[in-house]
A and B are shown apart, each in its own frame.
Chain A
């Protein structure tokens, strides 16, 4: 049963197009990078605000 599933998935996987390096893929990378930078920016601003409050 497991062998059957593995064979099915292997066939399916080998037919999948390789998206890496295409324009759409680069858009995905850019969106992820922007989202991460946004989250980090929020964390840095929160960190600095907390530092100010702690000094008070």
Chain B
């Protein structure tokens, strides 16, 4: 039997996918119908943040318990977080092309996101470069704990201090202040919750597969 939160994730994302395309949206200047991307692009970043926080929590547990299984969980959450980050970048680029006229502008938020993603890419390179599993777990947990605060500063704090095209940054009003009316909220919040739950499900599947592999290796 599938757990309730997985079923909730499926229902919420299906609702967000279909409702996001069919439900009415406010006709905002420049954004027009592209405002619908709010339901796909923004939940990816929210989901990614949630998954990266979970990864950091398991990194702390790895250091405290010295348990390899905690490291497996930390890596899986980071992996799915990066998948969400990549989808967030692609949906953002498509949105940028339709509203700002270019796939990639010299916007501080875009550049910060790219730097942050590269930092997490380095996390996976670091992991693959160490053979001893215990050493790998400890060093990558420390690096993970270094990455998260820097990533948050890069994506959520730094763009607010400089001029930026992104809503809510550099003096631009965010969607919360006047754009995000109740019609958008009806799909946006379920989309964020649904994608977060789906991300945790994907990570859960990965963790369980790796757990079985570890158990098999221990048997042998």
Do A and B interact with each other, yes or no?
yes
B22 on the interface (CB 8 Å rule)? yes
Tell me the smallest distance from the CB of A21 to a CB of chain B, in Å: 8
CA of A5 to CA of B100 in the docked complex: distance in angstroms?
Answer: 7
CA of A37 to CA of B66 in the docked complex: distance in angstroms?
Answer: 39
Contact with B along A30-43 (1 / 0, CB 8 A): 00110011001001
Contact A47 B2 (CB under 8 A): yes
Contact with A along B181-220 (1 / 0, CB 8 A): 0000000000000000000011001001100100000000
CA of A32 to CA of B13 in the docked complex: distance in angstroms?
Answer: 11
Contact B33 A19 (CB under 8 A): yes
Contact B2 A32 (CB under 8 A): no
A10-B30, A29-B21 known; A43+B202 contact, CB < 8 A:
yes
Q: List residues of chain A with CB within 8 A of the CB of B31.
A: 13
CA of A10 to CA of B99 in the docked complex: distance in angstroms?
Answer: 8
Contact B201 A43 (CB under 8 A): yes
B contact residues, total (Cβ < 8 Å): 26
Contact A46 B205 (CB under 8 A): yes
A contact residues, total (Cβ < 8 Å): 29
Tell me the smallest distance from the CB of B141 to a CB of chain A, in Å: 25
Contact A36 B13 (CB under 8 A): yes
Q: List residues of chain B with CB within 8 A of the CB of A28.
A: 21
Tell me the residues in window 87-119 of chain B with beta carbons closer than 8 Å to chain A beta carbons.
98-101
Q: List residues of chain B with CB within 8 A of the CB of A47.
A: 2, 6, 201, 205
B180 on the interface (CB 8 Å rule)? no
Q: List residues of chain A with CB within 8 A of the CB of B2.
A: 44, 47-48
Contact of B101 among A5, A19, A54 (CB under 8 A): A5
With both beta carbons as reference points, the residue of chain B lying nearest to A21 in the complex is identified as: B22
CA of A50 to CA of B99 in the docked complex: distance in angstroms?
Answer: 44
Contact of B14 among A6, A19, A33, A46 (CB under 8 A): A33
CA of A37 to CA of B18 in the docked complex: distance in angstroms?
Answer: 12
Contact A18 B33 (CB under 8 A): yes
Q: List residues of chain B with CB within 8 A of the CB of A18.
A: 33
Interface positions of A (Cβ within 8 A of B): 2, 5-6, 8-10, 12-14, 16, 18-20, 25, 28-29, 32-33, 36-37, 40, 43-44, 46-48, 50, 53-54
What are 7 inter-chain pairs, A to B, with CB distance below 8 A? A2-B165, A5-B100, A10-B29, A13-B29, A13-B30, A13-B34, A43-B202
